[in-house]
Amino acid sequence: MENQVTVFDHPLIQHKLTFMRDKNTGSKLFRELVSEVSMLMCYEATRDLPLKEVEIDTPMASTTSKVIAGRKLAFVPILRAGCGMLDAMLSMVPAAKVGHIGLYRDEITHQPVEYYKKLPSDISERDVFVLDPMLATGGSAVDAITIIKQSKPRSIKFLCILAAPEGIRALTSAHPDVQVYCAAKDEGLDKNCYILPGLGDAGDRIFGTK
């Protein structure tokens, strides 16, 4: 499981995460911080993309340089909080296609309920990054990845900002082939299945709802 989970300890990520956790941070700043952290995470999570050499002409001379070797990417946010990470990911990889998975957590059972799915038609040719700021119980992430796997993508990675040990165990057990990336691994869940110390409900803080 340890090799399957990468926790980013970059100082910029940790600095921004501190302000995301602060209950006094308003929605505007919170959205900006989610975007900034997501962009930094995208930079790290795509580090293993293969490269190939191409011949180009600079204003000064001909040279050999490198470009990404034809790998097609897709970003799939889990609605709705995952959408807060999407624009930052697209700013880094604007050619990526986008899908959406709609899941909500039943307030009684705490289990995810699917209500929407729309994936790129060529997802079988793509490496997929599933986006959700919080990995709490892991139920939504597990179900979303199960849904996406039915379309047989080339690979799947899961990006979140905070992860609880319970969610990490659930996701890595259900999908041992999926690499998990997070900005921090927190202590655990409270009785309502919210991450502690966490940052509250990410969707509510991104969109200014309660």
List, as one string, the DSSP characters of 62-129.
EEEEEEE-S-EEEEEEEETTTHHHHHHHHHH-TT-EE-EEEEEE-TTT--EEEEEEE--TTGGGEEEE
Contact 141, 158 (CB under 8 A): yes
d(CA 58, CA 100): 40
Q: Is 158 exposed, middle or buried (0-12, 13-18, 19+ CB in 10 A)?
A: buried
In the numeric block, which tokens belong to residue 109? 């059972």
In the numeric block, which tokens belong to residue 128? 């997929």
Beta strands at 195-196 and 184-185: parallel, antiparallel or unpaired: unpaired
Provide the 3-class DSSP secondary structure of residue 49: coil
What secondary structure letter does DSSP report for 209? -
In the numeric block, which tokens belong to residue 15? 């600095």
Other CB atoms within 10 Å distance of the CB of residue 97? 19
- Catalytic center residues: 105, 109, 201, 204
